Structure 1
Amino acid sequence: MKSRIPLDSSIFFPFRNLSLRCQGYLVNWDVQRKVWDHLFGKEMFKVDFADTSIIITEPYFNFTSIQESMNEILFEEYQFQSVLRTNAGSLSAHHYFHTNPKELCCLVVDTGFSFTHIVPYCRSRKMKEGIRRINVGGKLLTNHLKEIISYRQLHVMDETHVINQVKEDVCYVSQQFYKDMEIAQQKGEENTVMRDYVLPDFSSIKKGFCKPREEMVFSGKYKTGEQILRLVNERFAVPEMLFHPSDIGIQEMGIPEAIVHSIQAMPEEMQPHFYQNIVLTGGNTLFPGFRERLEAELRSLAPAHLPVSILMPENPITYPWEGGKLLAQNPDYEEMVVTRDDFEENGHCVCEEKFDV
């Protein structure tokens, strides 16, 4: 009996391994094979891949050479029975339309590790003329935070994992940037933005954490042997890059402007539907205040007579994965995939015809 990637036994692999990509595109196939060997190992999945279908995501406008290499590895090396290559945003859109069957349009804002994409969908079909990409993602934010801390306090350029955790634990999106900047310049307890972060020593402290404000020492030094990072305006200045990339010299639009630019590329009669159905996905949306700030800025940029509505899923990171589960149960799923027999007979051209990526 062929496995169709059902429910929790599904094999859905987001095409986002951190160490294998350059600007979001896979560049190291040798290391990628090792990752897949581990992931697809018999110890993890008790299935026969010759009778299994796989859904795998890739970036928008992926290079043909990467797509062809992926086809060959999945079909010829791992011998999957069938493959569906798609974008994470398409799975998010499928999830949204499945949950909201009366809606015809949605705009997926996917801000993840390497970059941010804004993609309009109509009846689960992406509107390519409206796709916008911003070259700002979680990796850039972490690297910028490393540079700031290394310049001001402690050399941490080699501590990507630790500083990424600092970013996730301490940073937030400011609702009033200049007001927060004024607060960050205050001294002592009047500086309500200031936080002290205890770095891990991987011995007694396995994971870093933010000190409770009532335990912070505002003058002098801590008597414990803990290594402390004092974070002030970095907390909100780093996520601000999602809204104003020009702050660090990246001459691109921020997310609110890119959303408006994307929607304006759509037919006028469809634009109200996109403003009312904006879906947030990706890890950067988890910054406290992200949704509120985006909604406020969109409200100021959008036409006054059009309502703006933004959906923040319960888990914006796994939202596409959940869409993949739903897609695998779709009665039309067999029509979307390319089988190994089709690939062996027709080669890469059949994938180009089937996969709209």
Structure 2
Amino acid sequence: MSTLVLDNGANFAKIGYSHEKVSVIPNGQFRSKTSRLKTFTASQLDEIKDPSGLFYILPFQKGYLVNWDVQRKVWDHLFGKDMFKVDFADTNIVITEPYFNFSSIQDTMNEILFEEYQFQSALRINAGSLSAHQYFHENNSELCCIVVDSSFSFTHIVPYCRGRKMKEDRVYTEVRALAPVEYQVSVVLPQNPICYPWEGGKLLAENPDFEEMVVTREDYEENGHYVCEEKFDI
């Protein structure tokens, strides 16, 4: 069973199988003044010879996925024969979504992933959680970190302790109790920040407990959106 990791950003999609390298691809469609009758999708942007008069059609507005027609076309392109050739009957997906995502958007994503594409299982997760997972893997002696996720639409600053998101009113008490009196604070900028969450997703897909984190298509067909709400900590 293969696992496809998709950090579905508002500007770029970072995508690749967990056993391969990541590809960074525009998440949108484009039209050019010189090619008004043709729409270019995702990586087809490279085919436009004159980028000076581009019109962007993005699936995200103000940080949330609202244009599902465009997103479907981008995903069709990414999952199709010209890109990742996804065999949905034998593929899991790890996909990111924003913090505080609307339940209506989550429900639509569930339906598209399970009912239209028919992935075998799915894990919806925040990009910041994947970054924290990658950070703790690279720095296994660290107890806590703060992820500054500065992306196309939002900047979120989220504390994690042992890989878990922490609420603001608990941060000082718990970090103070865990850290030595002479603790030091460091700021780490990953070598490739834009792909850091994807690397965390790749790592997560190789976790021995990965099967316990996902919702399978069988679970979804039996329990609907409820099982996703129970499983995913968004």
Scaled by the length of structure 2, the TM-score of the pair is 0.75
1:71 CA displacement: 0.2
1:268 CA displacement: 2.5
Offset from partner CA, 1:243-300 (integer Å, 9 cap, x none): xxxxxxxxxxxxxxxxxxxxx75142504879x9xxxxxxxxxxxxxxxxxxxxxxxx
Aligned residue pair count = 193
The answer to whether the 8 A contact 2:27-2:74 is kept is: no
Q: Report the Cα distance in structure 1 between the residues aligned to 2:21 and 2:139, rounded to whole angstroms.
A: 25
The answer to whether the 8 A contact 2:133-2:200 is kept is: yes
Cα RMSD (Å): 2.7
Q: Does 2:176 align with 1:315? A: no
Specify the SS of the correspondent of 2:147.
strand
Within 5 Å, give how 1:285-300 maps onto structure 2: none
The answer to whether the 8 A contact 2:215-2:227 is kept is: yes
Structure of greater Rg: 1
Within 5 Å, give how 1:198-213 maps onto structure 2: none
Aligned to 2:114: 75
1:306 CA displacement: 5.7
Q: Report the Cα distance in structure 1 between the residues aligned to 2:89 and 2:136, rounded to whole angstroms.
A: 31
Within 5 Å, give how 1:43-54 maps onto structure 2: 43-54=82-93
Q: Report the Cα distance in structure 2 between the residues aligned to 1:122 and 1:21, rounded to whole angstroms.
A: 30
The answer to whether the 8 A contact 1:106-1:273 is kept is: no
Residues 120, 273 of structure 1: alpha-carbon distance in 2 compared, 3 angstrom cutoff? farther
> In the alignment, residue 104 of structure 1 is paired with which amino acid?
L
Offset from partner CA, 1:317-356 (integer Å, 9 cap, x none): 1111111110110000000000000000000000011100
**Residue 101 of structure 1 is aligned with which of 108, 133, 140?**
140
The answer to whether the 8 A contact 2:119-2:217 is kept is: yes
Q: Report the Cα distance in structure 2 between the residues aligned to 1:98 and 1:266, rounded to whole angstroms.
A: 21
1:314 CA displacement: 0.5
Aligned to 1:138: none
Specify the SS of the correspondent of 1:268.
helix
1:4 CA displacement: 3.0
Aligned to 2:3: 4
Q: Does 2:175 align with 1:270? A: yes
Question: 5+ unaligned residues in a row in structure 2: which ranges?
Answer: 5-17, 29-56
Within 5 Å, give how 1:138-149 maps onto structure 2: none
What is the percentage of aligned positions where both structures have the same residue? 67
The answer to whether the 8 A contact 1:338-1:350 is kept is: yes
Aligned to 1:184: none
Q: Report the Cα distance in structure 1 between the residues aligned to 2:174 and 2:218, rounded to whole angstroms.
A: 43
Q: Does 2:101 align with 1:62? A: yes
Following TM superposition, the consecutive aligned residue runs of length 4 or more in structure 1 with deviations greater than 3 angstroms are: 12-18, 271-274
Question: 5+ unaligned residues in a row in structure 1: which ranges?
Answer: 131-263, 277-304
Scaled by the length of structure 1, the TM-score of the pair is 0.50
Within 5 Å, give how 1:340-351 maps onto structure 2: 340-351=217-228
The answer to whether the 8 A contact 2:3-2:94 is kept is: no
1:78 CA displacement: 0.5
Aligned to 1:334: 211
Offset from partner CA, 1:203-242 (integer Å, 9 cap, x none): xxxxxxxxxxxxxxxxxxxxxxxxxxxxxxxxxxxxxxxx
Specify the SS of the correspondent of 2:124.
strand
**Residue 20 of structure 1 is aligned with which of 28, 49, 59?**
59
1:47 CA displacement: 3.6
Specify the SS of the correspondent of 1:55.
strand
Q: Report the Cα distance in structure 2 between the residues aligned to 1:82 and 1:119, rounded to whole angstroms.
A: 27
1:32 CA displacement: 1.0
1:23 CA displacement: 1.5
The answer to whether the 8 A contact 1:14-1:57 is kept is: no
1:115 CA displacement: 1.1
> In the alignment, residue 3 of structure 1 is paired with which amino acid?
S
Residues 80, 68 of structure 1: alpha-carbon distance in 2 compared, 3 angstrom cutoff? same
Q: Which structure shows the higher strand fraction?
A: 2
Q: Which structure shows the higher helix fraction?
A: 1
Within 5 Å, give how 1:179-198 maps onto structure 2: none
Q: Report the Cα distance in structure 1 between the residues aligned to 2:79 and 2:85, rounded to whole angstroms.
A: 9
Q: Report the Cα distance in structure 2 between the residues aligned to 1:71 and 1:85, rounded to whole angstroms.
A: 9
Within 5 Å, give how 1:165-176 maps onto structure 2: none
